[in-house]
Amino acid sequence: MQLMLILAVLGTLLSAEAAPAVAVADPGRRVLLCVVYMAAVVLLARVVAGVTALALKRDFSRRARVLQWYDRLRRLQTTAWLVGVAAIIFGLGWPQIIRQNWHLGGSILLADLLLLLPVLGPLVLSWWAFTLVDQTIDARLAELEGVNAVSRTRLASIVMQCRHQLGPVLAPLCIVLAVRDLATWLKPEWTHGSLGWGIDTLPLLALVIGFPWLLRYLWRTEPLPPGPLRTQLRAVEQRLGVRTRDILIWRTDETVCNAAVAGFVPMLRYVFLSDGLLSRLSTEQIAAVYAHELGHLRHRHMTLRLLAVVLPVVLWQAAAVSFPDVLSRSSLMVAQWGIAPAVQASVATLLAAGLYAALVFAWYCRVLEQEADLCGCLAVDPAGSLTSRGTEQFIDALSAVTVLSGGGGRRAVQGWLHPTLSHRAAFVRHMADDPAERDRFGRRTRRLARVLVALVVIAACWPLLVTALRAGGL
């Protein structure tokens, strides 16, 4: 979901930059249609949530089947949300209404936030509708277990979801946009040339480094207190040779059973363990999950993922510099079909980003997860060797997290950036039984990392090299 949110936000902002600087006709009717689109998306979410809640109340024993259909209907509603965003941005000229008709183009952050309203408004209101299903499940589980239902209001659930889902995306984005808007307001010429590149890049670089500190306050966190668990987790760090700034309890009212890691430099590197994870898993299982997160640090997976995100951008820049005539002819060909340049650029960018994310980025992330799984299996053994006992202990922890990540044992949740539980279990068992294959897997992952770094460096330097050669008459 978060990747779709990022694509929708970036697509909206890119479309706004490429939109013609002219006012649109009949803005009142267009705004009304925007509201209708957004209301229809929210209404669909409310219908899906209502039907699901009713089915759960009638026969809770069939909840696995009901929730399977619920997930499918939510994906359908998410598709409708994305289609609605595209219709508002491209079809109704929402960026032009904001910047040209309403003359808000020179404001600091106001125009940017209004541009994102068709993205964020229906999304948050849909979350509000879907909390009905969560409350129904909590009430029925409490009834079956003979305990009081979790006293969590829908507003509290939405606030927490916004902090967890929207906060990590919007907070850095707002900082970067505010810096650029402020520079444009003070001196418009600052946003052009090398100085403009610095205004965009330096805040982004600072945020990449300082993001873990920001995340610590976006989420509700506190340090894990001293005790046997903290001592055991620090021992796992020593076995792996990884340093972290702190181990933090991630307060989610026990609605999340998972862990996360953030930080490129040791002084700003944190591991987040959710309260649901700490309350439901044993000490050995928590140590196994912690070892998996440290595996991402040990193998520099955050850096590799960042490079994998940057790769298509630098490749596109290199292609634009090397083959400008081909790209210009392609643009003219599409323009002859009646597609405006702004629309074709935005749609092409979103389609290319979506295909890359689904076919390349997701595949590479799954490979990195497998590498971190092996590290987790190694670290749970005090001797640091891959044994059957350590492997089964890690699989047990992984199974618990996969099931409980749906909340209260309701359903198993599996993300598309992770292999399925069965694949992960089969992989680590196979690696434990075949050391030679484990060595070959390690060599393949290291080779992939070197190729990725080389591609990013070459593609990033290529425009400078081409410009220098052309300046020299070559």
Q: What is the pLDDT of residues 109-134, one digit of tens each?
A: 888 899 999 999 999 999 999 999 98
Quick check: is 466 in a domain?
A: yes
Q: Do 146 and 287 belong together in one domain?
A: no
**The residue type at 297:** L
Maximum alpha-carbon separation in the chain: 82
Of residues 118, 24, 113, 123, the one with CA closest to residue 74: 123
Higher pLDDT, 292 or 405: 292
The tally of CA atoms less than 13 A away on the side-chain side of residue 374 is 20
**C-alpha to C-alpha distance for 388 and 380, rounded to whole angstroms:** 11
Cα Rg for the chain, rounded, in angstroms?
A: 25
Judge contact between 163 and 2, C-beta under 8 A.
no
Give Cα 346 to chain centroid, integer Å: 20
Average pLDDT score over residue span 247-255: 90
Q: What angle do CA 221, 226, 229 make, to 5 degrees?
A: 90
Report which listed range, 257-271, 277-291, 444-458, is most confident: 444-458
Q: Which of 133, 151, 169 is the last residue of a domain?
A: 151
Amino acid code (one letter) for 69: W
Mean pLDDT is lowest, of 199-203, 356-360, 436-440, 461-465, for 199-203
Hey, is 54 helix, strand or coil? helix
Alpha-carbon distances, residue 344 vs 78, 109, 326, 335, 347 (angstroms): 23, 26, 16, 8, 5
Q: Which pTM does this prediction carry?
A: 0.83
Cα gap 50→44, rounded to integer Å: 10
The distance of Cα 15 from the centroid of its chain, to the nearest Å, equals: 21
Contacting residues for 126 by C-beta, under 8 A, at least 6 apart = 41, 42, 45, 77, 81
Domain that holds residue 58: 1-151
Q: Is the pLDDT of residue 338 over 50?
A: yes
**Residue 85 lies inside a defined structural domain of this protein:** yes
Assess if residue 43 is contained within a domain.
Answer: yes
Is 395 inside a domain boundary?
Answer: yes
Structure confidence at residue 265 (pLDDT): 86
Q: Residue 339, by phi and psi: left (phi above 0), alpha (psi -120 to 50) or beta?
A: beta
Q: Mean per-residue pLDDT for 385-411? A: 74
Give φ, ψ of 351 to 5 degrees.
Answer: -65, -45
Per DSSP, helices labelled H in 219-300 are 228-240, 275-280, 283-298
Are 244 and 223 in contact by the 8 Å Cβ rule? The answer is no
Within-domain flag for 318? yes
Q: Residue 275: pLDDT above 70?
A: yes
Q: Is residue 320 part of a domain?
A: yes
Task: Please state the domain count of the chain.
Answer: 2
pLDDT(358) > 50: yes
Tell me the Ramachandran region of residue 364: left when phi exceeds 0, alpha when psi lies from -120 to 50, beta otherwise.
alpha
Domain boundary among 85, 119, 151: 151
Q: Estimate the crossing angle of helix 341-356 against helix 2-18, to 10 degrees.
A: 160
Is position 235 within any domain?
no
Which of 164, 309, 305, 294 is closest to 242 using CA atoms? 294
* CA dihedral sign, ordered 164, 166, 170, 171: negative
| Whole-number percent of the chain with pLDDT over 90 | 39
Domain closes at, from 105, 127, 151: 151
| Tens-place pLDDT, residues 6-61 | 777 877 777 777 677 788 889 999 999 999 999 999 999 999 999 999 999 999 88
- Burial bucket for residue 259 (CB in 10 Å: 0-12, 13-18, 19+): buried
User: Does any domain span residue 349?
Assistant: yes
Q: Which helix (H) or strand (E) holds 456?
A: helix 435-471
